[in-house]
Amino acid sequence: MVARSKKVVKVCRECHRVVEGEACVICSTANLSEDWAGYVVIIDPEHSEIAKKMNITMAGRYALKVR
């Protein structure tokens, strides 16, 4: 049996976007957190009530709560 390392997912503390690299593609900050909860995918931010409440204007993957 081969042990696999778990990929650490980081989230931007500013806009809550799930980040793949070392900086957020939306707000260009490196202020990232590994401590977050909840996951939402916004497909159409213009018509999404959740996107409006979270002030999200771009489609993508976001965390609901970031510490």
Which of the residues in the chain have pLDDT under 50?
none
pLDDT for res 5: 65
Domain hosting 27: range is: 10-66
pLDDT for res 8: 84
Contact 24, 14 (CB under 8 A): yes
Contact 39, 64 (CB under 8 A): yes
Split into its structural domains, the chain has a count of 1
Q: Is 27 part of any domain?
A: yes
How far from each other are the two terminal CA atoms of the chain, in whole angstroms?
35
pLDDT for res 7: 79
pLDDT for res 2: 66
d(CA 17, CA 14): 8
pLDDT for res 1: 64
Q: Is 4 part of any domain?
A: no
